[in-house]
Structure 1
């Protein structure tokens, strides 16, 4: 596994928070290549001499994009940043995604480096951010520098416009990946084509990470807000103003433990001292790849938040210790578990969200190394993970999965089902083979656990003959069985398991149905942070939306055919009138948009619309309902929002996940003892 560092620095001439002398060396004197002058341009594909691990995938090439991003699937020439999840080519690291223009001024430099001074500086930043990591030793770096760049339009080299400088470096020691952002003073946030005036206003810059799959993303707080420039300069996640450090190798971006930040007392300029507004002679061309106003417009649902430090899980890890696990098998599993749990808040209480982990080993017998009350920190847990190989039983050929599950169930019943601890229960089980002991069928106890809201994730580890593979696929939560054999096809099993834990932490109340779709590419189900519930009573569309807001949601959105199929299937069962209000409506600008959570909205996409015959996006009426108009086919129809059509309606409510944590545990976990 690779450890990669991305160091992104943004700096300006005056009032520097991170001194320019402290940046990584850059420019022609260091052997850097220079970007061809352009607006919204990109470098050619750059092959790198090592793998860079990002969101669980190894990357072997990249593109440098003028507009402040490094991408891994294709060039990105979109000039207006998006703070919603994006889908498609937007696999990127964005130290400062904004409308940069270098047609007449400014430069962008880049180079690969194994220079010892560069690597030493990288080591220093990582050790400071993550002091619990031993033997930090970067071996490779790639440095990109945006130097003296301004915002669009940059057509007059003599124009006195505000300038930004920023730098980004990738590095690896072949274990983990990191991103370090340095920020100097920031004076502009927005190009004119993004609604800006004098470099400010409009849609401001975004800083963060996106896997480009509509699910995995992380943004620094303040992105796309007018004060993003001052936020990046005066704040930090490592206690030093203007410095931000992240671990980016796995499916969840991890920030260091929270530290206090000494806020700078230096003056931060929020308006340029002298700005000459220039109106371009021609309108800025639309990029060939466009970012949606909101990724939700084309998404099956709201992505589940996967912020590992705020997950709320009780996890029992059960690992086969028999002969068939093989020499080194336990050690390999342990080291990968230590990696996967890195960043999780393992605790036994305290304020905020935390997870607990128990560890069980099994063969013909079951050994509990620690129950849910044993490990008080990640460091406690990782010490055990890294010493598992000593428990390998090289003579025991029995793999008693039933007893392992029975032990897990007993731990849950005694330590998890309490009024003071209402967390999602997860079993993470590794087995290399399977032997049924007597008449004890693991499927029986697994069904009991699944019916008790236990999320079962299984991994058949180097299974010879397929016995474990067949069984584990039957006892896991649907589509949550993974196999190490997939690694021969380029899959990262532990990244998939990490994603499964994210889904386990994304929970709907028992009274509601979660949006779960099937991804044909991965062959897996995808859980979304949307819970739908029908109401068969009649209401005008406007009042139906109010009713949905009262329970913390909105009228349902039908953004894709996959989501529409789920909602329509529910309507066929629960809506007697066969017509119901949906969340599509005209906003104050008379644009058709979907209701989002917390009084937000996102536009209707051209990719999926389901109008009934005689209706379209231009039909009269500001609200929309859907009806089974010919007795079997559903279609959208426009209506007045008030005074017409007192129909049924379907609400969607945000699931309880690692970001949206205001969940009433009595309803979310179906336990009336929880207050």
Structure 2
């Protein structure tokens, strides 16, 4: 009964994901729409990189080749795979640029076969030749045990990481399935949960010929949230590329606002900026935030952020969404206590209020958004730094300009995310 309820709930979640819009629940249980990105005047926060030619991942595609997939279906799946990963992506690891993608291939029916480990394919030509030579006819069995295929993918990923090889690369498994079967040792949920808990992103594509709701619901359970698709999706290529990176979609299709892009992430100890701090699946930006909890002056904090990460800087607040996110970062850090106070990257320089940027880049003038506390800003003569200060008993903070050399507080740092535009070793 529990599994049936779980599958039913998963199907509802899957159906919601197909609309490209996701709801989340606040602390009272009220359904609240996940917000879309908001502009900040002429200043906007960095988006995740979207250059497929610089995709750097370890990927395993898992394809059901039982009779249920059909010869026509498996051929169409082959074409989909090479379209998703063949759009300029550097396949293999024999490149001077470390931004490349290794791609393994697994087929399964009642057993699994590892067609290619993560080191076999070393070019786009290898990808095309292998995919179309292997995925052209189905097997002679009706059995289709998803757990076998996912288990083989787990082995491919583990073996590909021997001796710490590419341990800084994110991992993605894409499953194409025509059936959802399995109890006991053939139950795919334990192995899929194990993969996801280890940081692997798992996406599924249902080869859906007749609207099999149990297939759709089952695959929604094993997939990472919002990553269960169907072969009938009009923009399946764009959806799968969006799993890998938060890419631009054709204006004909509404982009999902729920991606956790595999190739857009933050280093350890940094938090990725997203549209809603409390919704892990809200829109992600190519921005990472870190709260520094040893008090420093504003000027010292500026230099500290530059040293905490290459091209780091005191954090910006171009709009209310970013302002609220930084406050939630502070609230969720036990080092902070009320009243909440922390330096941000705004200062009075060159005759105006300007936002910090990476060292060597011009500052950005404040534009379109401000949230000064009452009676601020004060005289600029020495009070040129800006911090966030909880002004009242209400859990809100606002800007106050302070002496940039003498007022010591915690501070927020910012740096670009690791993505196709920025490789992180």
Q: TM-score, normalised by structure 2?
A: 0.76
SS in 1 for 2:342: strand
Q: Which residue of 2 aligns with 1:509?
A: 267
Provide the residue aligned with 2:213 in structure 1.
Answer: 466
Match of 2:328 in 1: 569
Q: Could you say if the C-alpha distance between residues 416 and 536 of structure 1 is closer, same or farther in structure 2, counting changes exceeding 3 Å?
A: same
Q: Hey, what's the Cα distance between the residues in 1 that align with 2:327 and 2:314?
A: 14
Larger fraction in helix: 2
Distance 1:416 1:524 in 2: 27
CA distance 1:603–1:496, change in 2 (3 Å): farther
Q: What corresponds to 2:8 in structure 1?
A: none
Go from structure 1 to structure 2 and tell me whether the alpha carbon gap of 1:514 and 1:475 turns closer, same or farther (over 3 Å shift): farther
Contact 1:317 1:429 (C-alpha < 8 Å) held by counterparts: yes
Residues 327 and 655 from structure 1, CA distance in 2 versus in 1: closer, same or farther, beyond 3 angstroms?
same
Q: Does 1:391 align with 2:134?
A: no
- Distance apart, 1:316 and its partner CA: 0.4
TM-superposition CA deviations, 1:289-333 (whole Å, max 9, x none): xx9995xx23xx421212223322111011222333344222112
Instruction: Give the whole-Å Cα distance in 2 for the aligned partners of 1:293 and 1:631.
Output: 30
In structure 2, the CA distance between the partners of 1:539 and 1:631, relative to structure 1 (3 Å rule), is: same
Q: d(CA) in 2 for partners of 1:303 and 1:407? A: 34
Whether the aligned pair in 2 keeps the contact of 1:585 and 1:594 (CA below 8 Å) is: yes
Matched, 1:322 2:69: no
Number of the residue aligned with 1:369: 115
Query: Where does the alignment leave 5 or more consecutive residues of structure 2 unmatched?
Result: 1-35, 246-260
Alignment: residue pair count: 361
CA contact (8 A) 1:622 1:641 kept: yes
How far apart are 1:548 and its partner, in Å? 0.5
CA distance in 1, matches of 2:40, 2:288: 24
Matched, 1:409 2:170: no
The 5 A counterparts of 1:165-314 are 297-298=43-44, 301-314=45-58
Partners in 1 of 2:145 and 2:267 — Cα distance? 34
Equivalent residue in structure 2 for 1:610, among 371, 378, 382: 371
Q: 1:333 aligns with which of 70, 77, 90?
A: 77
Aligned-partner Cα distance in 2 for 1:536–1:524: 27
Q: CA deviation at 1:421?
A: 2.6
Alignment partner for residue 413 of structure 2, among 641, 645, 651?
A: 651
Query: Which one has the bigger strand percentage?
Result: 1
Q: Distance in 2 between matches of 1:326 and 1:609?
A: 59
Q: Which has the larger radius of gyration?
A: 1
Query: 1:619, CA displacement in angstroms?
Result: 7.3
Matches within 5 A, 1:355-504: 355-393=101-139, 395-396=141-142, 398-422=143-167, 423-462=169-208, 464-487=211-234, 492-502=235-245, 503-504=261-262
SS in 1 for 2:158: helix
| Separation in structure 2 between the aligned mates of residue 385 and residue 496 of structure 1, nearest angstrom | 20
**SS of match in other structure, 1:597:** coil
Native 8 Å contact 1:624 1:636 kept in 2: no
* Cα distance per residue 1:335-377 (max 9 Å; x no partner): 1221222211112334212211001112222122111121121
| TM-aligned CA distance change 1:644 to 1:380, over 3 Å | same
Q: In 1, distance between residues paired with 2:177 and 2:379?
A: 58
**SS of residue in 2 equivalent to 1:639:** strand
Distance 2:186 2:323 in 1: 42
Alignment partners' CA distance in 2, 1:655 and 1:614: 36
Secondary structure at 1:504 match in 2: coil
Is the CA contact 1:639–1:645 (under 8 Å) kept in the aligned structure 2?
Answer: no
Q: Unaligned regions of 5+ residues in structure 1, if any?
A: 1-212, 215-290, 666-675
Could you say what secondary structure the match of 1:582 adopts?
A: strand
Distance in 2 separating the partners of 1:364 and 1:449: 21
Distance in 1 (alpha carbons) for counterparts of 2:403 and 2:108:
61
Distance 2:189 2:284 in 1: 23
CA offset at residue 524 of structure 1? 6.5
| 1:330 to 1:569, Cα distance in 2 relative to 1, 3 A | same
Task: Check whether the contact 2:372–2:400 (CA below 8 A) recurs between aligned residues.
Answer: no
Q: Are the counterparts in 2 of residues 314 and 356 from structure 1 also a CA contact under 8 Å?
A: yes
Cα 1:524–1:531 shift into 2, 3 Å: closer
Tell me how large the CA RMSD over aligned residues is.
Answer: 3.0
Higher relative CO (Cα under 8 Å, sequence separation at least 6) belongs to 2
Q: Is the 8 A contact 1:622 1:640 kept in 2?
A: yes
Q: Distance in 1 between matches of 2:162 and 2:313?
A: 32
CA gap of 1:435–1:475, structure 2 versus 1, over 3 A, is same
Shift of 1:430: 1.9
Conserved 8 A contact 1:408-1:427: yes
1:413 is displaced (CA, Å) by 1.3
Q: Is the 8 A contact 1:556 1:650 kept in 2?
A: yes
Q: Is the 8 A contact 2:102 2:119 kept in 1?
A: yes
Q: Per the alignment, do residues 514 and 524 of structure 1 end up closer, same or farther by CA in structure 2, a change over 3 Å counting?
A: closer
1:351 matched to 2:96? The reply is yes
How far 1:441 sits from its partner (Å)?
Answer: 3.7
Deviation at 1:603, TM superposition (A): 3.7
Q: CA deviation at 1:499?
A: 1.8
